[in-house]
Structure 1
Amino acid sequence: MSFRNISMYYFVCVAVHGITLANAATFSIQNNFPYTVWAAAAPGGARIWARTGCEFNESGQGKCQTGDCVELLQCQGYGLPPNTLAEYTLNQFDGMDFFDISLVDGFNVPMEFSPTSGGCNRGIKCTSQIVGQCPSELQTPGGRNNP
């Protein structure tokens, strides 16, 4: 059985995604901020992001300032911009895995996305606080939108 482990820092809690039994993947998510960040993932995989400024009631209804999942604690689809994305595709082209950090949905938190097994020791980072570098037209509470 093939097993891959990729760590992504600057999130809270741990999300585990099983791609298939033969190609399982574990994602360890860690928050290094002094404030709460809610981890989110698209059902079925492919992307993980951070949600900030969230408040949920006991039934899982609520809202997040960034990365909101249509007012649900358990995401049923992609998060609403702005959100920094960690994207991945596993077991492609000759069994290789691919991963990136994307700002296509804007930016809300700095992020590091690094494999911890499988022979790859090169992670990627978007750790600058780029909010202050973006034009004021892209400003939104808690982040920056993509033009």
Structure 2
Amino acid sequence: MRISHWLYFLFLLNLFPFGTIFSSATLFTLENRCSFTVWPGSLAGKGPALGDGGFALAPGSSYQLQAPPGWSGRFWGRTGCKFDNSGAGKCVTGNCGGGLKCTGGGEPPVSLVEFTLDGSDNKDFYDVSLVDGYNLGLAVKAVGGTGSCQYAGCVKDLNIDCPAELQMLDSGSIVACKSACAAFNTPEYCCTGDHATPQTCSPTKYSQLFKNACPTAYSYAYDDATSTMTCIGSDYVITFCPTP
């Protein structure tokens, strides 16, 4: 190797250490098919905050974010938001600490999509979760990957059939549907205390209502078998208010 080439190689190693120079980012495309503005929120479990934690997404528009290998985190949609010029404000559903750019998770009830990239056997793990309740339809589709790469989501509007005891109201309208845990806060519904294992925490009539409406979404804490999806080397499209 000529000296000039060797120096250039060392320069590349300084910028891209072994194990990262050939790695590619995962592309998330967030699209809004709702008839109203949605303010996506994001929270990283591992890696950087994507989209600065939150932004506005007008009806019919989309926004792309790149996540580095090994990233984990969640996305959700906020509704009824009002922010001032500094980004301070709040949302009717999915609020996250009173700002456009979230620094914490969305306040329940809220529909979530969760990711762990490059996990066991290099698989991405992802799911749509209603464990924290439901505020709007949400789905995730894998694009270009290998493996099962199943579609996950909740297409049906659960606010329409939400039981009265789970309803979250704003100005007399149902804007979200609480989880039974949030509504009643008992071990049976929250999978805590004597119900803190898969063997002792079973589906309830409320989680079953969610499951029947949205079979590929998490309906309660231990709903893993039909709700956790895997894919390898994929990009992902996350849709708010998906259609069947």
Superposition TM-score, scaled by structure 2 size: 0.50
Residues 28-60 of structure 1 deviation map (CA, whole Å, 9 limit, x = unaligned): 000001111111100344110000000000011
One of 130, 137, 157 as aligned partner of 1:110: 137
Moved more, 51-60 or 126-135: 126-135
Structure showing greater Rg:
2
Q: Which has the higher strand share?
A: 1
Counterpart in the other structure of 1:123:
151
Gapped runs of 5+ residues in structure 1? Answer: 1-19
Residues 44-99 of structure 1 deviation map (CA, whole Å, 9 limit, x = unaligned): 44110000000000011001000001111100010111110001111111101111
Q: Is the 8 A contact 1:23 1:91 kept in 2?
A: no
One of 45, 55, 79 as aligned partner of 2:106: 79
Counterpart in the other structure of 1:38:
39
Counterpart in the other structure of 2:123:
96
Superposition TM-score, scaled by structure 1 size: 0.80
What's the offset of the Cα at 1:125? 2.2
- Over the matched positions of the two proteins, sequence identity in percent amounts to 38
> Cα RMSD (Å) of the superposition?
1.7
| Large movers: runs of 4+ above 4 Å | none
Q: Which has the higher helix share?
A: 2
Residues 91-126 of structure 1 deviation map (CA, whole Å, 9 limit, x = unaligned): 111101111100111101111111112225521121
The amino acid across from 2:32 in the alignment is N
What's the offset of the Cα at 1:23? 5.3
Q: How many residues matched? A: 128
One of 73, 86, 95 as aligned partner of 1:59: 86
Looking at structure 2, the residues matched to 102 and 125 of structure 1 have their Cα atoms a distance apart, in angstroms, of 8
What's the offset of the Cα at 1:132? 2.3
1:132 equivalent in alignment to 2:154: no
Give the 3-state SS of the residue equivalent to 2:160 in structure 1.
helix
The amino acid across from 1:39 in the alignment is P
Q: Is the 8 A contact 1:53 1:64 kept in 2?
A: yes
